[in-house]
Amino acid sequence: MTPYIADFLEYCRGPASDIYFQRAADTLAAAGLDPVVTMECFADRDGLLFGMRDALDLLRRSLAGEGEVWALDDGSPIAAREVVMRVRAPYSRFGRLETALLGMLASCSGWATAAREVVDAAGGRPVISFGARHVHPLVGPVMEHAAVVGGCAGCATPLGAQRAGLAAPSGTMPHAMILVFGDTVRAALAFDAHMPDDVLRIVLVDTFKDEAEESLRVAKAMGERLLGVRLDTPWERGRVTIELVKEVRARLDLAGHRGVGIFVSGGLDAERVRQFVAAGAPVDSFGVGMAISAAPPIGFTADIKEVDGKPRTKRGRIPGVAAAPRLRRVV
Amino acid sequence: MTPYIADFLEYCRGPASDIYFQRAADTLAAAGLDPVVTMECFADRDGLLFGMRDALDLLRRSLAGEGEVWALDDGSPIAAREVVMRVRAPYSRFGRLETALLGMLASCSGWATAAREVVDAAGGRPVISFGARHVHPLVGPVMEHAAVVGGCAGCATPLGAQRAGLAAPSGTMPHAMILVFGDTVRAALAFDAHMPDDVLRIVLVDTFKDEAEESLRVAKAMGERLLGVRLDTPWERGRVTIELVKEVRARLDLAGHRGVGIFVSGGLDAERVRQFVAAGAPVDSFGVGMAISAAPPIGFTADIKEVDGKPRTKRGRIPGVAAAPRLRRVV
Amino acid sequence: MTPYIADFLEYCRGPASDIYFQRAADTLAAAGLDPVVTMECFADRDGLLFGMRDALDLLRRSLAGEGEVWALDDGSPIAAREVVMRVRAPYSRFGRLETALLGMLASCSGWATAAREVVDAAGGRPVISFGARHVHPLVGPVMEHAAVVGGCAGCATPLGAQRAGLAAPSGTMPHAMILVFGDTVRAALAFDAHMPDDVLRIVLVDTFKDEAEESLRVAKAMGERLLGVRLDTPWERGRVTIELVKEVRARLDLAGHRGVGIFVSGGLDAERVRQFVAAGAPVDSFGVGMAISAAPPIGFTADIKEVDGKPRTKRGRIPGVAAAPRLRRVV
Amino acid sequence: MTPYIADFLEYCRGPASDIYFQRAADTLAAAGLDPVVTMECFADRDGLLFGMRDALDLLRRSLAGEGEVWALDDGSPIAAREVVMRVRAPYSRFGRLETALLGMLASCSGWATAAREVVDAAGGRPVISFGARHVHPLVGPVMEHAAVVGGCAGCATPLGAQRAGLAAPSGTMPHAMILVFGDTVRAALAFDAHMPDDVLRIVLVDTFKDEAEESLRVAKAMGERLLGVRLDTPWERGRVTIELVKEVRARLDLAGHRGVGIFVSGGLDAERVRQFVAAGAPVDSFGVGMAISAAPPIGFTADIKEVDGKPRTKRGRIPGVAAAPRLRRVV
Amino acid sequence: MTPYIADFLEYCRGPASDIYFQRAADTLAAAGLDPVVTMECFADRDGLLFGMRDALDLLRRSLAGEGEVWALDDGSPIAAREVVMRVRAPYSRFGRLETALLGMLASCSGWATAAREVVDAAGGRPVISFGARHVHPLVGPVMEHAAVVGGCAGCATPLGAQRAGLAAPSGTMPHAMILVFGDTVRAALAFDAHMPDDVLRIVLVDTFKDEAEESLRVAKAMGERLLGVRLDTPWERGRVTIELVKEVRARLDLAGHRGVGIFVSGGLDAERVRQFVAAGAPVDSFGVGMAISAAPPIGFTADIKEVDGKPRTKRGRIPGVAAAPRLRRVV
Amino acid sequence: MTPYIADFLEYCRGPASDIYFQRAADTLAAAGLDPVVTMECFADRDGLLFGMRDALDLLRRSLAGEGEVWALDDGSPIAAREVVMRVRAPYSRFGRLETALLGMLASCSGWATAAREVVDAAGGRPVISFGARHVHPLVGPVMEHAAVVGGCAGCATPLGAQRAGLAAPSGTMPHAMILVFGDTVRAALAFDAHMPDDVLRIVLVDTFKDEAEESLRVAKAMGERLLGVRLDTPWERGRVTIELVKEVRARLDLAGHRGVGIFVSGGLDAERVRQFVAAGAPVDSFGVGMAISAAPPIGFTADIKEVDGKPRTKRGRIPGVAAAPRLRRVV
């Protein structure tokens, strides 16, 4: 459960819930109505489901032993309009949670779905999620967890890695550190000298000099201790191209540094990753940012389908529970 | 300042920060380097700035009296690549905050920018943000605050409204409540009977019956107490059309209910809002969801431009501080 | 033969014929020329041939025993530029009929071709032609006959049905009748009470109320006597959607009215019919108007290919009769 | 009034009327209902109104002195959804005429609208309608009348010309006549010898030889008696081009035949006519076929708006009579 | 070797060479540097190689016995970036030839590649290159040689034919000659009377009269001596169409001239040739101009890949010789 | 006149002329026909005229005192189908020159027209033509002359510069020279040491290192002697970008090298040049290759318009001389 909100259930039921759910609750209570209601939840487009475990935790605490819940597992591929969760319980037990439940699924599934697309494009090469900086820090680690569920091999923040069950967060070195040192080789040697052994020695090589030249300088200075170089050419210099990767690979090989890997980042999305892979560019892993972190949420909708056991729903929807054989009883 | 994280500064400097900033900090410390560094921040596309006040709060506490900061105000229109914040301080004082600072600006400016576009399209008619359900509840109220900065007249959650300085959140009634009552008129009368006087009497009229028929039923039942009807026709029935609004208006007028307003929602974005306005549809206010809440973040970048007073930056960028006459000294 | 013109042959040879054919006839007569001429007729695009039987009736009467004629049958698929009719006779015997012969084939084949496209799209579900109101009443029944040749299962006017050899015209009830009654159920019950037994009990359900609600009201009121409902939602309400059909079906089934069929109409063309069928919408039959009745004619051309047995034709065409193995001698 | 149907009113009320109007009439009669109904008629797109005079004749005879009618005049430009006719009378007096009234307006306005577009494109040069051969002979002359209302200076059939109030139909000579003669000059001389003086001497010059060569041969042979040549180059030879017209003009002028006009036909539509005019091609008049005769009808709709003086209409429409200040009382 | 420049090697090394190669030579000489350099040459797009034999002649004379050269043969299909020539020799021996070597390959391969595309489109029918008039006469015969290498069966100038090893150039007769005679038949008979027997009797038939008519006149006048007609209809008359070819063929056959061939020219490119072939137009051969002669050159690049046996190249390229198994040692 | 062909007139009249002009000449001579013919020449698209002076030289020598010639001047903008040259003389005097005359105008005007487009895009910044390597060396200098007529400030070969009347050819240094030296600074110093003073000191800075870094190294090493740097980044590194130019400018300025210019080359065309200029990139001059040298020729046509003073021309053209008030009598 999200650890950094004191009483998350209260938060979701109250200040973070659409006010009209509170008003509905008050009106129904005043009218003495609290029927058992069946509500179903579905997405408006295909995707990869995530956020369900947190949603169910919340719901379970709110139901406090009453009612039944069926759901799909996090990580399931889902189809547009497929039922992903069904709740049958007295309405007062869960009505005010709708904003929070939908919101968790929407954000998390949006990120996981985008990650899956990039990971599929990478065809087996590891993809690391580096986009925490593009989302509010309150959800940065959540986004990273979603990226890992979507198939990413790593993510950047300690909390994200912890949530995702990874041994450690991933990271190389920022341009800022190299700029402070004033020279890539000097920065690389200091990094190597002071970092614990379990930190990967991957050096960023586009800060001051041509990437190919800098790669050779770093490889020569660090020798066998160098695990890889990171190419992150800025768009002002045309971003990393397929040909640059091939050339750096060739020049490293010519100089005898066949063991040095190449890590590519900078404005990558699924389409560009696909092009690198299709062209046979010798990339060892990809770092991806906004293609995952800026992915739009997937819209989720919650519909009442039965009231007191009778099919009832609003215009535009089919009354009664929908066929949903993949659902599993979870509460 | 975000109220629901115990020690937000610590959170942003540690578990929610990209790990490589921590590693850079450790390496620099071990190497005994802590120069005064000038860092500048800019967006990758035009937009409306938001998130700056929270970012500056964080930064101010982290600098603890050292260094200088210049910035633009929240709510400023900004151009792509325009400097929106400049920090000059010992690097150890703020380096680890980069993930959080950029993330706050990115998410918040993305939402505010999208809201502004919808609000502009509405040409003076009030727009209410109803999209909290499409984002993780941790940032739902933040998103709503951004929407209000972008020009929205209201938002749905109590915390969002409070953050944005509004008297109260906005909301009508959910389909769920009407479904539980089983009849729109019955639900409307109960709502009217039990809600405090300051709650607007706006009734949702598309749950069971044709919107025009239901509008007349509700208007007849509630008389002068009815402030307005909400049209939210689902996409399965073709969504709310310009003609539906005109027809409901005409039928209400024919029946003598000229004072009943019409509130439109359901899949609206700037383009559709523009069409309603251009066609002269008699809409009194618009409710907008994903067009604001699912807006992509605006990418922000932080570049070191000077080290110890000397121009220095990475390849692809111009060394030295950029001309930025609109910046104001804030720390 | 078209029954409602007193002397149709005279009409076609005279007042309804392009004047230059009369002038050509006069000039040739004055010059003492009346060779045996071979004329061939072809279409400018692929299609379904119709109008030939009427054309041949006219031609047969005009030839009065002289000459020979070959033709394809009504209902044949034809290719662009394929010969569909060949006449070999003294030119004075048929020259003035060109306008009428081409015109019959053009209009009739245009309608039949469009009908065939819609019928193919419907994949076996019956299609009824309801477009008489979009063409001049002089040709309304002709258009309907063409629609039936193109595969339609029914048409709207008595004369159209009679020409097409159908037992009876098709029709449900107009909005006008329901409006006069002021209530759909009342109208339906009166219709049922007063119509002969062979009139199908299909009730139009979009006049006053939501289609789903009205369907249930009518089904409840008429019970087993109700054969089906007609959905004809106006474009101002988004026309009939695939989802509406599915919902009405589901609500009727839930209420035990599995035997009530669904008939869909309103702005349908081949493309929209194809979408309904592809989406598995439970439509029992389709009503189609302008997609058939407003179809453009197919341009037909008549070329002289031989004069007195010698190949002769104008620039741009191949002299001599064309290969046309499918032609059948008819006169 | 259409002269060639014995009892046109009876035809329109019975065999040519959608059967469901008859059924509605029978049901209403059996139910003893015959309220005064107000019906309004409008088009689904902008256009030029035609068919109204015939429609009003029919209606007037059917009303037999009862009720009121307002309408726009034939030849009026109309806007989409503008009311073009309003009838207020006992429903039994006109209900069964709906198919015929709408059909007359639909076909006729479709043709007139298309003609107007071509005529506008021609920028003052006369346009002659030659498309009778593309429509059923029952409506060929009606189409031609519409074309003249749309601005055409002439049409091809005697009955069309008579209906349109023209002194005579227009026509040159068919390729067939020239083919029978076997030589254009011979045909032209025979035509000139045997035709009355009021027939224009315009000779078709593309049957056997190059158009420029043939124009000079004919001009030489006929001298001052030649009024013009008609260029109708078939599409197999690239149709008439702008350059061909300029060249024929130049060659005629060089040979001293400045008084011989050039008449262009063959696959012309508004766009191609516009190109000729824009390029300054020396065309004296245009002959147009399918661009007018194959024009789709304009869909007209008739809606009941009041029953017994009370606003009433179906879903999707505004109850009560619409503002229509251009309407004129005609019955 | 190009025969019409007195000292072509000197010309290419001096006045026709980019001045900076001379300056580089002077600088290197002054600095006492003349290493053995390996240079590789490649194209920037796929194509058909031509110009290599002339390039190698030049190079061989310049190397004067020193160094080694590998190359592909003229007429080889080549891929973008494939090595087509490799030179290893003291740089002073060939550096100044770069402009000329690349230029020969660029122009010649561009023309040959375009010719190949047209020839492929013609599917076995002979294609004659007639575009000498679109390029400077200094390279007209070179272009024609390239066209023949690309698959053309003939070309127009004597020098082009000689270079390409053809027995004779190809040509029919110009419009100018027919215009001087004033009549096509008269011109054809004179041509037949005065030309040697080995000149093909192909008569141009679009100068004065319709092509079909003129073809018959010429065929009748020349009888068995006529080998073929050339259709070259100008664009002002719609160019040669597929239908024109079919019609001329049919009219010739009807008149018994089955042995007379049809040669088509005028604005043809690969796409139009493909259409003629696909439509089964009975064309016996095609004459093509700008589609070949105006083809853009293929850009060739020469890169140094080794200096004194060590891999060395500029940024963006892979150091060391590339894999190029198809290369053959030629010097 | 092209100096490097021994007898250029004979070459153009014989081996480089389409054979059918020779055959026409022989046939006409045998038939005893040599009328005075008026021929006009025009282009098939708008452009800039070049090649006329050489064409007129050739023609003047061929006419040998007979006949008259009118023409437009080299460098004139011309419109499609505007007459650019008119010859009136006995046909035998110039008929065989048609291939050469048209070819000179076609190639030369094609290059000049393309150059003009690039020069216009550059908005006053000098453009140097560097594309000799993309065309056959026989026409390389001719192409460069055309480029200068089109507005280029310089070109690469000595002969091109001489033909164009420039003081000297333009050039910096090839990558090859730098590669042989093995270091840009070393190469630059040697170049500076050994070149005469009138050679511009512009150093190519993308061979080994990042362009910005190398620019600073070279500027530091050469000081005031450095006139400029050339950026020619290969496409594998994203070509020269607008931002690279701005950055190099800024870094040079920061280091005090405000006087060092920036020369940009590499795959430039009019569109890319326009973007640099529009973005305010501080480019001092542009080097352009294929955008000029690979430009397609402009098709020119020569038509006979009079024979012995009488208007006569082929089908598709207007007989008689055309209005051409800009023509000037030149022979």
Q: What is the pLDDT of residues A122-150, one digit of tens each?
A: 999 999 999 999 999 999 999 999 999 99
Q: How far is B306 from chain F (nearest CA, A)?
A: 12
Chain F segment 15-54 residues within 8 A of E by beta carbon are 15-21, 23-24, 26-28, 30-31, 33, 35, 37, 39, 51
Whole-number pLDDT of residue D1: 39
Contact criterion met (CB below 8 Å) for E293 and E148 = no
Collapsing DSSP states into helix, strand and coil, what is residue C38?
Answer: strand
Helices (H), chain D: 8-13, 19-30, 52-63, 98-122, 140-149, 158-163, 175-181, 184-194, 211-222, 242-254, 270-278, 290-293
Chain A segment 51-70 residues within 8 A of B by beta carbon are 51
Structure tokens at F173: 């240094």
Rounded to whole angstroms, the Cα distance separating A13 from D139 reads 72
The answer, yes or no, to whether residue C51 has pLDDT greater than 50, is yes
Rounded to whole angstroms, the Cα distance separating E237 from F172 reads 52
Contact check, Cβ <8 Å, C319/E246? no
pLDDT tens, C132-178? 999 999 999 999 999 999 999 999 999 999 999 999 999 999 999 99
Rounded to whole angstroms, the Cα distance separating C26 from F93 reads 58
Contact check, Cβ <8 Å, E317/A247? yes
Identify the bridge partners of residue E267 per DSSP, sorted by sequence position.
none
Contact criterion met (CB below 8 Å) for B118 and B270 = yes
Q: What separation in angstroms does the CA of C253 have from each of A143, A325, C209?
A: 44, 21, 19
B108 touches chain A (CB under 8 A): yes
Q: How far is B299 from chain F (nearest CA, A)?
A: 19
Residues of E in contact with C317 (CB under 8 A): 247
- What residues of chain F score a pLDDT lower than 50? 1-3
Chain F residue at shortest CA distance from E194: F27
E318 touches chain A (CB under 8 A): yes
Q: pTM, whole model, 2 decimals? A: 0.94
Contact check, Cβ <8 Å, A246/E318? yes
DSSP secondary-structure letter at C302? Answer: E
D255 touches chain F (CB under 8 A): no
Q: pLDDT confidence of C225, banded at 50, 70, 90?
A: very high
Give mean pLDDT, residues A57-72.
97
Of the candidates C212, C246, C254, the beta carbon closest to that of A315 is on C212
Contact check, Cβ <8 Å, A237/F236? no
pLDDT tens, B258-274? 999 999 999 999 999 99
Neighbours of C121 (CB within 10 A): 23
Contact check, Cβ <8 Å, F250/B315? no
Give mean pLDDT, residues C116-133.
98
Residues of B in contact with A179 (CB under 8 A): 37, 304, 307, 312-314
Q: How far is A204 from chain E (nearest CA, A)?
A: 19
Helix axes E184-194, E211-222, angle to 10 degrees: 40
Question: Quick one: B196 exposed, middle or buried, by C-beta within 10 A (0-12, 13-18, 19+)?
Answer: exposed
The DSSP-derived string for F113-161 is: HHHHHHHHHHTTS-EEE--GGGS-TTTHHHHHHHHHHTT-SEESSHHHH
pLDDT tens, F36-55? 999 999 999 999 999 999 99
Whole-number pLDDT of residue E7: 87
Q: pLDDT confidence of A2, banded at 50, 70, 90?
A: very low
Whole-number pLDDT of residue E6: 67
D250 touches chain F (CB under 8 A): yes
Q: Give one word for A316, left, alpha or beta, with left for phi > 0 and alpha for psi -120 to 50.
A: left
Whole-number pLDDT of residue A79: 98
Contact check, Cβ <8 Å, E137/F235? no
* Beta-strand relationship, A285-288 and A127-129: parallel
B316 touches chain F (CB under 8 A): yes
Chain A residue at shortest CA distance from C246: A318
Q: How far is F272 from chain B (nearest CA, A)?
A: 20
Helices (H), chain C: 8-13, 19-30, 52-63, 98-122, 140-149, 158-163, 175-181, 184-194, 211-222, 242-254, 270-278, 290-293
Collapsing DSSP states into helix, strand and coil, what is residue F286?
Answer: strand
Chain A residue at shortest CA distance from E311: A254
The DSSP-derived string for C165-200 is: T-SS------HHHHHHHTSHHHHHHHHHHHS-TTS-
- What residues of chain D score a pLDDT lower than 50? 1-3
Contact criterion met (CB below 8 Å) for B109 and B298 = yes
Q: pLDDT confidence of A76, banded at 50, 70, 90?
A: very high
A237 touches chain B (CB under 8 A): yes
F79 touches chain D (CB under 8 A): no
Residues of A in contact with E316 (CB under 8 A): 243, 247
**For chain C, what is the mean pLDDT?**
96
Of the candidates C236, C241, C243, the beta carbon closest to that of B241 is on C236
C315 touches chain D (CB under 8 A): yes
Chains with 3+ CB–CB pairs under 8 A to B are: A, C, D, F
Rounded to whole angstroms, the Cα distance separating A81 from C246 reads 14
Rounded to whole angstroms, the Cα distance separating D297 from D105 reads 8
C244 touches chain B (CB under 8 A): yes
Contact check, Cβ <8 Å, B254/D316? no
E209 touches chain C (CB under 8 A): no
Q: Which amino acid is at C299?
A: G
User: What is the SS3 string spanning B167-211?
Assistant: CCCCCCCCHHHHHHHCCHHHHHHHHHHHCCCCCCCEEECCCCCCH
Over the Cα atoms of chain F, what is R_g? 25
pLDDT tens string, chain E, 331 residues long: the values are: 444 566 899 999 999 999 999 999 999 999 999 999 999 999 999 999 999 999 999 999 999 999 999 999 999 999 999 999 999 999 999 999 999 999 999 999 999 999 999 999 999 999 999 999 999 999 999 999 999 999 999 999 999 999 999 999 999 999 999 999 999 999 999 999 999 999 999 999 999 999 999 999 999 999 999 999 999 999 999 999 999 999 999 999 999 999 999 999 999 999 999 999 999 999 999 999 999 999 999 999 999 999 999 999 999 999 999 999 999 999 9
Residue (of C58, C48, C79) closest to C148 by Cα position:
C48
Rounded to whole angstroms, the Cα distance separating C285 from D38 reads 32
Neighbours of E223 (CB within 10 A): 9
The DSSP-derived string for F290-324 is: HHHHTPPPPPEEEEEEEETTEE---TTS-SSPPP-
Whole-number pLDDT of residue F7: 87
**For chain B, what is the mean pLDDT?**
96
Whole-number pLDDT of residue E327: 98
Rounded to whole angstroms, the Cα distance separating C253 from C229 reads 13
